[in-house]
Structure 1
Amino acid sequence: MSNVDLAVLMLLALVGLYSPVAAVSSYIPLLKPIDARQHSRLAFGLFVNVAAIAVGTILVGEPLLELLGLTPAALSATGGIALMIAAVPLMLGRTDDPASASTEAALSPPSTSWRSVVFMPLTFPLTVGGATIAVLISFRAQVEGVTGVLVLVLAALVHAAVTGACVYVAGHAGRRLSDRARMILDRIAGILLTAIAATLLASGFTRLAVDVLTSMGVLRG
């Protein structure tokens, strides 16, 4: 399989894992406290973050994780925990309760600055997680030479552009929703985010358990 074919497959895998339609619904609650004039900056900020993480992972991801003693499984589990804490109040419809303001702040801080959400939780864990890093590292291991790395980098940049575009679309969609529609969408987004968090937790902890058992010799690699 050629390097170009691998790059196309990686892009399809990343976009499929990201799920743009689901991502737009997940982003809308995050954009509520952000001034509409800053949505384009937020979209660009997400593009820069995703591009930097993806390109960095392709270039030095595997050796860096080994150096730090981290694994994609650990990143998935960590992202799942963070997302679960933020998503459950949305799912239960408690984000409008003053008593839950501190919990809501974990997902959408009461700041109007786009910088308050661009990395956590917008970039991580909603957009980039352990599974994304695992996909990038696995495809990097299959290409050879500078050309192969360059086509993977190009595919990663296209994926980053897709994520930025989804934030921009979410901002426009959110402004056209009524208060009741936003409340219903918040519930739906909460259910969706909780499901994503549960998937990240299950996947991360399962792979961590397998890694531990393999290192102990109970399982064969």
Structure 2
Amino acid sequence: MNTEIIKIILAFMVLINPFGALTLFLDLTRGYTMANRRKVARIACLTIFITIGFFTVVGESLLKGLGISIGSFQMAGGILVFLIAINMMNGAGNPVKPDQDNFDLDHVQDTLPSTASAVVPLAIPMMIGPGGISTVIIYSSQISGLLQMAAVIIAGLFISIFCYLALMAAGRISRVLGDAGLNIMSRIMGMLLAAVAIEIIVNGLRTLFPDLS
């Protein structure tokens, strides 16, 4: 597999981090049949894939339309991702994603069909939030051809499938890892994310100051 795709998959995995959404998924689907749980997981992961695909295609045009240089956005996005990584390593979770305790789950289950709750709040913003979307736009801004665009979309497909498998195994994963295990995994993800953030910042500096290369 192309190393660029692996790098993008790693970035998406640590940012989207489906393990952080397992508790919300279990709460949202409490009392659902297995078929309905599969439906919620499928729609949530399809939403993630569509979001990645959409911002991959329009990301660079969006920056140009707003008059934002690629280097500036890389710097801003890299700093945002680094702050997320620091919080994750400190055990504080992702600061730009909502706290699951703030969700009125009974209200959500009473008023929204499973398809709606799969999109909001499960997929957006719990799984793919501002950090993930920013990273997609950063990678899309570096695209120079259809093959590189396909690499980002393929990476999005892989992470979407991984998220689906993680959600379908949510009960078993939660029992095996427990809160302590999920916390340790979040800290490891944070460390990997910090490395991704530094690379984004370095690329932004090189874009803004070509002489640094």
Q: Is the structural similarity TM-score above 0.5?
A: yes
Q: Distance in 2 between matches of 1:105 and 1:82?
A: 20
Query: Do residues 38 (structure 1) and 36 (structure 2) align?
Result: yes
Q: Which aligned pairs between 1:109-188 and structure 2 lie closer than 5 A?
A: 109-110=109-110, 113-170=113-170, 172-173=171-172
User: Which has more radius of gyration?
Assistant: 1
Query: Do residues 21 (structure 1) and 19 (structure 2) align?
Result: yes
Instruction: Label 1:66 to 1:109 Cα distance change in 2 as closer, same or farther (>3 A).
Output: farther
> Which secondary structure does the structure 1 equivalent of 2:2 belong to?
helix
Q: Distance in 1 between matches of 2:60 and 2:106?
A: 33
> Which secondary structure does the structure 1 equivalent of 2:158 belong to?
helix
Instruction: Label 1:65 to 1:122 Cα distance change in 2 as closer, same or farther (>3 A).
Output: farther
Q: Unpaired runs of 5+ in structure 1?
A: 90-102, 178-184, 196-221
Letter in 2 for 1:124: I
Contact 1:4–1:148 at 8 Å: present in 2 too?
no
Q: Choose which of 9, 13, 19 in structure 1 pairs with 2:7.
A: 9
Aligned residues: 165
Deviations 1:148-183 (A, max 9, x none): 11111111111111112222112x549x98xxxxxx
Deviations 1:10-31 (A, max 9, x none): 1101111223433323422122
TM-score by length of 2: 0.60
Q: Distance in 1 between matches of 2:53 and 2:22?
A: 23
> Which secondary structure does the structure 2 equivalent of 1:143 belong to?
coil
Contact 1:35–1:112 at 8 Å: present in 2 too?
no
Offset of residue 37 of structure 1 = 2.4
Letter in 2 for 1:83: P
> Which secondary structure does the structure 2 equivalent of 1:110 belong to?
helix
Q: Distance in 1 between matches of 2:112 and 2:172?
A: 18
Offset of residue 55 of structure 1 = 0.6
> Which secondary structure does the structure 2 equivalent of 1:83 belong to?
coil
Offset of residue 143 of structure 1 = 3.1
Contact 1:10–1:155 at 8 Å: present in 2 too?
yes
Q: Aligned-pair RMSD on alpha carbons? A: 4.1
